[in-house]
Amino acid sequence: MKKNRYIRQTTLKGFGVEGQQKLAAAKVLVVGAGGLGVPVLSYLNAMGVGKIGVMDNDTVSIANLHRQVLYGQGDVGESKVIAALEKLKEQNNDSNIVVYNTFLEPKNALAIIADYDLVVDTSDNFPTRYLVNDACVILNKPFVYGALHGYEGQVSVFNYKGGPTYRCLFPNMPKEHEVPNCNEHGVLGIIPGIIGNLQALEAIKVIAGIGEVLSGRLLLFNGLDQSYQKINFKQQPENLEIVALQEYYEWHDPCAVIQTVTADKIQSLMTENAQIIDVRTAEEFENYHLSNAIHIPLDSLENSSGKINFSIPVYILCQSGKRSEIAVKQLREKHPESTLFSILGGLNQYLATCS
Amino acid sequence: MKVLLFGIAKDIVGSSQLQFSEVVPKTVLELKQLISKTYPKFGELSSLAVAVNSEYAKDDVPLNRNDEIAIIPPVSGG
């Protein structure tokens, strides 16, 4: 630690050398290097937090610059974490910055967060926020929450010393498109700056053990009238009972881009003698089926998947294309390497247009 | 009864505040239903935190004429 660098903090009553030492020993993960992440990163780094993890998988775009003031025009197109690393090292080369050029996902969340004392959720979407919450509950780590909507913002500290969590306020994720994000709704550049700085302040308070941490209280900020309101809320014990992450947090399974072929391909698939699996019921199959289709009803797919040759492409067929999608999802779990197609529109489409 | 609206709830209602003086809902749930009647899109919100006099309140919490209520949808922007 360079002499005098933090002298204005170490001379501050109530913070002092002790507070500074706590910052130097602290390990903080910042999830998201965007509008909220930038002020959090800038201040934690400037103030002397020892280890800072920066996580993002996005690149800097020109439309980010009005609020993500760490980045400049020359960074457009550059990875956010790489650009941030460069600026933060220039700002303070004492700190240990670890970059994660990835988004937080169920498969990496626990391993990464385990290395830190505190998480700052500066993400911009609900799936990540719920994932941060659940991972922090499982690992018993506090996290500083901040989020915004238009001219308003919310700040709180969750899971702090057994205190309430994000799910104690909002038990379940809202439906997709129910609440617009910044990209859809717009954002005034300064607002994430204010909310992010409030988050940075809470992070510093948690680390240094000063003041009253915003735990069990939700701060509501409105930039248009400069009003701050606080709502008290209590812990709901069931929200501390999370033992494992959900398999996925997206509204749609991120791997759920289901490969499809259109029903007009059925004729050529039959000519090629391709592997077509018909997942309709026995009755439907008896009623009508393609000459070379293999019949495995959807409800016995799991037990009968031995009938499928996964080393060649698998084309799944049903009446309308719905069950075949479900079948693809089911099979993909156990056979992730296989090539699975759902036939769009199913037999209905084929019979209506192609036969 | 003063109802403060935040986030998407404010956008739906088109104002940051609602007043109830004649018909006063008896519970948080009734208040939500009342707002939904006038603003059907409000009724579609599946996740809302409600605070009565700055204390988080579940649907069954009773309301009084002089209460100040805050309706706080989750926000995700960052």
Query: What DSSP string runs through A9-32?
Result: HHTSTTTHHHHHHHHHH-EEEEE-
Interface test with B, best of A167, A179, A197, A215 (most B CBs within 10 A): A179
Encode pLDDT of A97-112 as tens digits: 999 999 999 999 999 9
What is the rounded distance in angstroms from the CA atom of residue A214 to the CA atom of residue A12?
A: 21
Identify whether A250 is part of a domain: no
The CB density around residue A15, as the number of other CB atoms within 10 Å, is 19
Asked if B54's CB is within 8 angstroms of A230's CB, the reply is: yes
A contact residues 147-176, partner B, Cβ 8 Å cutoff:
147-150, 152-154, 169-175
Identify whether A38 is part of a domain: yes
Count residue pairs from A and B with Cβ separation < 8 A. 103
Report pLDDT for B61: 97
What is the rounded distance in angstroms from the CA atom of residue A344 to the CA atom of residue A264?
A: 9
Identify whether A254 is part of a domain: no
Residues A81 and A213 in one domain: yes
Mean pLDDT of A4-26: 97
Asked if A169's CB is within 8 angstroms of B74's CB, the reply is: yes
What is the rounded distance in angstroms from the CA atom of residue B9 to the CA atom of residue B73?
A: 7
Report pLDDT for B23: 86
Residues A235 and A280 in one domain: no
Predicted complex ipTM? 0.95
Phi, psi at A12, each rounded to 5°? -75, 125
Report pLDDT for A180: 74
Report pLDDT for A256: 54
Mean pLDDT of A334-339: 82
What is the rounded distance in angstroms from the CA atom of residue A164 to the CA atom of residue A350?
A: 54
Locus of tokens 């991972």: A135
Choose among A258, A256, A240, A238: nearest CA to A318.
A258
Nearest-neighbour CA in chain A from B21: distance (Å) = 24
Name the pLDDT band for A295 (thresholds 50, 70, 90).
Answer: very high
Residues A92 and A125 in one domain: yes
Which residues partner with B50 through β-bridges? B71
A contact residues 118-137, partner B, Cβ 8 Å cutoff:
122-126, 129
For residue B8, which residues of chain A lie inside 8 Å, CB to CB?
149, 178-180
B2-72 belongs to which CATH class?
alpha beta
Map residue A72 onto helix, strand or coil: coil
Instruction: Answer for the pair B33, B48: CB distance below 8 angstroms, yes or no.
Output: no
Residues A12 and A40 in one domain: yes
Q: Which residues contact A98 (CB under 8 A, 6 or more apart)?
A: A51, A52, A53, A54
Identify whether A151 is part of a domain: yes
* A192 in B contact zone (CB under 8 Å): yes
For residue A220, which residues of chain B lie inside 8 Å, CB to CB?
6, 70, 72
DSSP H or E stretch at residue B19: strand B17-19
* B7 in A contact zone (CB under 8 Å): yes
For residue B75, which residues of chain A lie inside 8 Å, CB to CB?
147-149, 152-154, 179
Q: Could you tell me what percent of chain A has a pLDDT over 70?
A: 96
Domain of A273: which CATH number?
A: 3.40.250.10
Identify whether A90 is part of a domain: yes
Domain boundaries, chain B: 2-72
Mean pLDDT of A257-267: 84
Residues A90 and A180 in one domain: yes
Residue A247, class by beta-carbon neighbours within 10 Å (0-12 exposed, 13-18 middle, 19+ buried)?
A: exposed
Map residue A257 onto helix, strand or coil: coil
Q: What is the average pLDDT value for chain A, to the nearest integer?
A: 93
Instruction: Answer for the pair A342, A324: CB distance below 8 angstroms, yes or no.
Output: yes
Residues A72 and A163 in one domain: yes
Residues A201 and A284 in one domain: no
Identify whether A246 is part of a domain: no
Give residue A282's domain range: 260-353
Mean pLDDT of A102-131: 96
Asked if A231's CB is within 8 angstroms of B55's CB, the reply is: yes
Residues A264 and A236 in one domain: no
Asked if B70's CB is within 8 angstroms of A35's CB, the reply is: no
Domain final residue pick, A211, A240, A269: A240
Split into its structural domains, chain A has a count of: 2
Which of the residues of A are catalytic? Answer: 182, 318
* A234 in B contact zone (CB under 8 Å): yes
Identify whether A30 is part of a domain: yes
Identify whether A245 is part of a domain: no
What is the rounded distance in angstroms from the CA atom of residue B52 to the CA atom of residue B62?
A: 9
Least confident of A43-47, A72-76, A173-177: A173-177
Domain of A103: which CATH number?
A: 3.40.50.720
DSSP H or E stretch at residue A271: helix A266-271
Choose among A142, A123, A166, A156: nearest CA to A30.
A123
Asked if A230's CB is within 8 angstroms of B77's CB, the reply is: no
* A36 in B contact zone (CB under 8 Å): yes
Encode pLDDT of A147-165 as tens digits: 999 999 999 999 999 999 9
Given a cut of 80, whether residue A181 has pLDDT beyond it is no
Report pLDDT for A254: 47
